[in-house]
Structure 1
Amino acid sequence: MRDFSQNHDWLSINTATIRKQSGAEVPLDRIIDQCAERGIRAISPWRDQVAAVGLDKVAKQLKAHGIGLSGYCRGGFFPAADAAGLQAALDDNRRAIDEARTLDAPCLVLVVGALPGALEGKAAYKDIARARGEVRDGIAASLEYAREVGMPLAIEPLHPMQAADRACINTLEHALDICDELDAGKSGMLGVALDIYHVWWDPKLQQQIARAGRERLLAYHVCDWLTPTRDLLSDRGMMGDGVVELKKIRGWVEDAGFAGFSEVEIFSNLDWWQRPGSETLDVCIERHKRAV
């Protein structure tokens, strides 16, 4: 296993981690500057943050700082109530793929979606099998274009608590089943984004990480699971503050062939989003060396 204790060369910051600083929203260009000031070599930005600053401006700023991407957040949300909605989702994913290419991302992360309308409390239907079928078909259609332009897609399985509203793919095994169906040759164009927050509990995790192998492990996200958890969406812990065996899991991931960035992704409305970004980034660097 790689030794992270001497530097933070393999640390990436998912920009959600510091999109709020001292309780206020901070623009992406400022976040990029903060990362550059600390010698952080990679980030994973969100589409809305990129759009607010401007795609071309962000691309130029990243190049000027010598900062790469560990992923691009996010595509997905394929299910819809009708044919027009399904097509709109495919069109939006095509745009996301193009944005990821412009930023030279190694992959586009897919949060696949679930029951349409559930996030707003008004699910259009309750048939989760239908949603999973629409997800499968949406990934298949998006993969065709992704292959044309050379942008890998990374399915992110989300914790079962989010099966109704954000993602109806909830285990690494399920994500890999879809990968094997749609990309049997392991072309490198379809894989997974493994987010510790969502999968650490899975009794099949070690087995499925080994199954994924280098070809399918396209992104690796880290944080920690706090006990008690005060909010299931926005109370992620800093690495080392919770109950996840982070070093053990990274060992499994690296044994499977992954040699990329450990991407810190922390949603923390009650804690880290209330702190200055400088403090959060400095702690990320320290914990990446010690706890990841």
Structure 2
Amino acid sequence: MSDASSDVLVETAVDVPSGLPARIPTPQPGDPRLARLSLNQRTTANWSLREAIDGTVAAGLGSIGLWREPVAEVGLATAVEWVRASGVRVSSLCRGGFFTAADPTARRAAHDDNVRAIEEAAALGARTLVLVPGGLPEGSKDLAGARARAAEAIAALAPVAKRHGVVLGIEPMNPIFAADRGVVSTLGQALDIAEQFPADEVGVVVDTFHLWWEPAVEEQIMRASDRIVSYQVCDWITPLPADTLLSRGMMGDGHIDFPGFTSAVTAAGYTGDVEVEIFNADVWAAPGAAVLATLARRYLELVEPWLGAAGLDTVRPRA
């Protein structure tokens, strides 16, 4: 692309959801800088699985992060067929977890569902199953007990995951979600659990939205080292919406230092895919192709230059 055509592209392209002019040109499919960029399905929640796969291919992204619900809608066999035919990697499958019920029957049901999730991840060629630990049972204030039950549940699943070639990725969540969905709030807490198991069985998910606030997070990222199984990026925007689950923003629209955070993840040795995962009503309302164009531009501007050269030839192939 000539400099002149690039200038036109910058002037005419518009970022979503801000509506502001794009700051850099939109990368074209085949741009090697997109090799590690992954679309997490929730970023384009208005797209079906078929549309998400096709959009990922059209934008030239290297991989996609899938969610179990859209996979179930079309059936696992069909989803596997579509993924294989597309040639894209599945960077992760979301989600397993929700381990913290007080009732033993409910915990057994959660275990069985997580076994199915591991099997689905293996079939799709996803090396990582993302685990959301779960919140406090109704009426409970026993945070430590809920966290202990999550660790026990992971211990029961680890050998199952190993047999299927899947690594369990514990996702620590911002403390605002501790009561209802994530009793593991810091990377340090996630590592305290993960380090009880071999690194090829249990790792951690590093998500900028959840961890940007954590004191000494750089030191915890270095501690994570070979246990980082997924790096997810999006921004923290203010004011927070009424539904805080939808408070994730496009990179560059909020408060997170992506160059600094990405440099720490790179220094820890992470060479895998980088998923953009955004829960945001305005992003979801925008055309999917415009969302992908914006996230690709922001990724090249704020994330990719700090990934370093390592990883481009070691990104895991699809099984």
Give the TM-score, by structure 1 length: 0.90
Q: 2:169 aligns with which of 154, 157, 174?
A: 154
- Name the counterpart of 1:93: 114
Instruction: Structure 2: state its 5+ residue gaps.
Output: 1-26, 304-319
Quote how far apart the aligned CAs of 1:6 are: 6.5
Quote how far apart the aligned CAs of 1:67 are: 0.7
- Name the counterpart of 2:235: 224
Quote how far apart the aligned CAs of 1:100 are: 0.2
Quote how far apart the aligned CAs of 1:37 are: 1.1
Q: Tell me the amino acid that sits aligned with residue 159 of structure 2.
A: E
Q: 1:113 aligns with which of 134, 145, 170?
A: 134
Q: Tell me the amino acid that sits aligned with residue 153 of structure 1.
A: L
Once the two structures are superposed, what CA deviation does each residue of 1:98-151 show, in whole Å capped at 9, x if it has no partner?
0000001021000010213xxxxxx14222222111101101001121122221
Contact 1:6 1:289 in 2 (8 A): no
Residue correspondence of structure 1 range 34-113 to structure 2 within 5 A:
34-113=55-134
- 1:192 aligns to what SS in structure 2? strand
Q: Tell me the amino acid that sits aligned with residue 33 of structure 1.
A: D
Contact 1:19 1:28 in 2 (8 A): no
Contact 1:115 1:131 in 2 (8 A): yes
Distance 1:250 1:69 in 2: 21
Quote how far apart the aligned CAs of 1:179 are: 1.2
Contact 2:169 2:230 in 1 (8 A): yes
Aligned residues: 273
Contact 1:73 1:110 in 2 (8 A): yes
Quote how far apart the aligned CAs of 1:200 are: 0.3
- Name the counterpart of 2:301: 290
- Name the counterpart of 1:198: 210
Once the two structures are superposed, what CA deviation does each residue of 1:142-166 show, in whole Å capped at 9, x if it has no partner?
1121122221100000000000110
Distance 2:195 2:97 in 1: 18
Q: Tell me the amino acid that sits aligned with residue 81 of structure 1.
A: A
Distance 1:223 1:150 in 2: 28
Over the aligned positions, Cα root-mean-square deviation in angstroms equals 1.4
Q: 1:125 aligns with which of 102, 117, 140?
A: 140
- Name the counterpart of 1:135: 150
Distance 1:218 1:93 in 2: 18
Contact 2:98 2:132 in 1 (8 A): yes
Q: Tell me the amino acid that sits aligned with residue 289 of structure 1.
A: L
Pair 55,223 (structure 1): closer, same or farther in 2 beyond 3 Å: same
- Tell me whether 1:15 sits opposite 2:41 in the alignment: yes
Quote how far apart the aligned CAs of 1:235 are: 2.2
Contact 1:159 1:171 in 2 (8 A): yes
Contact 2:129 2:168 in 1 (8 A): yes
Distance 2:263 2:102 in 1: 42
Give the TM-score, by structure 2 length: 0.83
Distance 1:7 1:130 in 2: 44
The structure 1 segments of at least 4 consecutive aligned residues displaced by more than 3 Å after TM superposition are none
- Name the counterpart of 1:145: 160
Once the two structures are superposed, what CA deviation does each residue of 1:63-91 show, in whole Å capped at 9, x if it has no partner?
11101111110100011131110100100
Q: Tell me the amino acid that sits aligned with residue 183 of structure 2.
A: C
- 1:228 aligns to what SS in structure 2? coil
Once the two structures are superposed, what CA deviation does each residue of 1:252-276 show, in whole Å capped at 9, x if it has no partner?
000010011110000001x111111
Distance 1:244 1:204 in 2: 15
Q: 1:174 aligns with which of 189, 207, 210?
A: 189
Q: Tell me the amino acid that sits aligned with residue 92 of structure 2.
A: G
Distance 1:148 1:224 in 2: 36
- 1:87 aligns to what SS in structure 2? helix
- Tell me whether 1:268 sits opposite 2:313 in the alignment: no
Q: Highest CA radius of gyration, 1 or 2?
A: 2
Distance 2:195 2:102 in 1: 27
- 1:71 aligns to what SS in structure 2? strand
